């Protein structure tokens, strides 16, 4: 008996097997693209949206925001074509796996093949193609698909429900799920913007002695202190310690080294790793795009941790360590470090900043009680950001699981 071609999870009331169709049967018209000469100004800044692969985001199938527009003359004098509304733009060159439903007319670069005048429910078509491409990408995981021809793409076989109603319900379900993902993504972005704005306004700038925004009950000027006046180096080691081996990243702070490396990155040097205690700080003086002059963080999530001996580790007296690390990662200290770095990066990628140099940076510090209020505020915002990140990840996992179970 032949195996039935049906999904594992299905809406009630639908019993028929799904049918195999070529992708070329999804649309009665296809369109390619091209790029008008960039040197000819009359071809650009018109009113026709023109998209390229970089305008699309992975796993986001709607709400493409074109960054460039072409004119009617640019359209007529190049290989790009006007694609009608309610078409699907599929990347066929660099960025294979990206696609988007376009509710308005548009033109594309040569990176795309567009499917127009769809013969299946539009949202179902988007998710069906997305699911097919994701499965292909998983098969070749670890390598990149540099591109596919129009013929390769259109010859792909997909299974689809015969009933247009089932197609529509499936597409609508996943569209609602994506809308929920977009909502949480927007909330997350707003929280990140809020955090950045608060960082700028809750710390003094340009030599000021007080910040723009301040909690009530605090009126004294912030005091300027050198880091060396409030800090003492930490150099303890414990070759027998079984504490977590951690590292610092500019974006996440302390993370376990195993999260970044699938192998023992420390090797024999592990015996020389510094043993940090909770509340102590470490400065990773490796340059990164986010923080070109290194990153400093306080150990908060662990009682003890082993960190690379190349980090500058220290403790602070009568100060809140999280507040001090925020100040050390701020623009004021970054400007000072820029002046200290005189000969660029060393061969091992670390900036030539000694702990003695680092101790000379000047900080603006309020009294301890105000430091703790500021830290409490940012801890709350960071907690909200983490919650939204977890919600997003859970929703993405749900979507992936549902795609696997509700498509054949």
Q: Evaluate whether 10 touches 406 at the Cβ level (below 8 Å).
A: yes
- 227 and 153 share a domain? no
- 135 and 238 share a domain? no
Residue 403 token pair: 């795609």
- 142 and 234 share a domain? no
- pLDDT tens-place string over residues 257-280: 888 876 555 666 788 999 999 999
**For residues 391 and 397, what is the distance between their CA atoms, to the nearest angstrom?**
10
- 148 and 239 share a domain? no
CA dihedral sign of residues 342, 348, 354, 360: positive
Nearest CA to 330 out of 203, 212, 231, 210 is that of 203
| pTM listed for this prediction | 0.79
Three-state SS at 70: strand
Phi-psi category of residue 72: left, alpha or beta, with phi > 0 → left and psi -120 to 50 → alpha:
alpha
Question: Where does a domain end: 115, 130, 160?
Answer: 160
Nearest CA to 86 out of 69, 56, 62 is that of 62
- 275 and 346 share a domain? yes
Flag whether 186 is in a domain. Answer: no
Flag whether 170 is in a domain. Answer: no
- 147 and 235 share a domain? no
For residue 221, report the phi and psi dihedrals to the nearest 5 degrees.
Answer: -65, 150
CATH number at residue 325: 3.90.220.20
- Split into its structural domains, the chain has a count of 2
Flag whether 207 is in a domain. Answer: no
Flag whether 298 is in a domain. Answer: yes
Flag whether 79 is in a domain. Answer: yes
**For residues 301 and 304, what is the distance between their CA atoms, to the nearest angstrom?**
9
Show the low-confidence residues of the chain (pLDDT under 50). 1, 345, 347
Q: Which domain holds residue 322?
A: 223-365
Flag whether 303 is in a domain. Answer: yes
| pLDDT at residue 262 in the model | 61
Residue 49 token pair: 């949206």
Flag whether 110 is in a domain. Answer: yes
| pLDDT at residue 348 in the model | 54
- 227 and 361 share a domain? yes
- 27 and 155 share a domain? yes
Question: Where does a domain end: 141, 160, 179?
Answer: 160
- 125 and 252 share a domain? no
Q: 107-108 and 44-51: which strand pairing?
A: parallel
| pLDDT at residue 345 in the model | 47
| pLDDT at residue 347 in the model | 45
- pLDDT tens-place string over residues 331-388: 889 999 988 886 554 545 678 889 999 999 999 999 999 999 999 999 999 999 999 9
């Amino acid at each position: 008996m032949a195996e039935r071609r049906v999904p594992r999870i299905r809406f009630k009331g639908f019993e028929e097997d799904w049918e195999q169709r070529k992708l070329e049967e999804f649309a009665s018209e296809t369109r390619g693209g091209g790029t008008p000469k960039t040197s000819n100004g009359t071809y650009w800044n018109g009113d026709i949206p023109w998209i390229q692969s970089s305008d699309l985001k992975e796993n986001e199938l709607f709400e493409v925001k074109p960054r460039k527009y072409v004119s009617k003359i640019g359209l007529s004098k190049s290989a790009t074509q006007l694609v009608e509304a309610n078409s699907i733009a599929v990347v066929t060159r660099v960025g294979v796996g990206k696609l988007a439903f376009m509710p308005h007319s548009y033109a594309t670069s040569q990176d795309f093949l567009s499917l127009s005048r769809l013969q299946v429910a539009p949202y179902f078509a988007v998710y069906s193609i997305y699911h097919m491409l994701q499965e292909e990408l998983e098969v070749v995981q670890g390598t990149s698909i540099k591109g596919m021809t129009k013929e390769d793409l259109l010859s792909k076989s997909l299974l689809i429900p015969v009933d247009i109603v089932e197609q529509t319900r499936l597409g609508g379900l996943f569209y609602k799920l994506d809308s929920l993902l977009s909502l949480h993504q927007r909330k997350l972005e707003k929280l990140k913007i809020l955090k950045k704005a608060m960082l700028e306004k809750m710390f003094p700038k340009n030599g000021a002695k007080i910040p723009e925004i301040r909690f009530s009950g605090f009126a004294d000027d912030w005091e300027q202190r050198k880091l060396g006046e409030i800090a003492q180096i930490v150099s303890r080691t414990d070759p027998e310690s079984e504490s977590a081996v951690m590292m610092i990243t500019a974006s996440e702070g302390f993370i376990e080294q195993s999260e970044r490396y699938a192998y023992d990155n420390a090797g024999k040097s592990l015996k020389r790793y510094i043993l940090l205690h909770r509340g102590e700080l470490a400065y990773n003086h490796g340059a990164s795009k986010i923080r070109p002059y290194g990153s400093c963080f306080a150990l908060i999530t662990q009682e003890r941790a082993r960190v690379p001996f190349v980090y500058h580790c220290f403790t602070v007296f009568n100060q809140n360590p999280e507040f001090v690390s925020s100040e050390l990662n701020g623009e004021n200290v970054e400007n000072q470090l820029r002046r200290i770095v005189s000969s660029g990066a060393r061969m091992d990628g670390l900036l030539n900043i000694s702990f003695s140099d680092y101790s000379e940076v000047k900080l603006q510090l309020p009294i301890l009680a105000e430091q703790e209020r500021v830290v409490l505020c940012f801890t709350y915002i960071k907690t909200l950001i983490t919650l939204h990140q977890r919600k997003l990840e859970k929703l993405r996992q749900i979507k992936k699981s549902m795609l696997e179970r509700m498509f054949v």
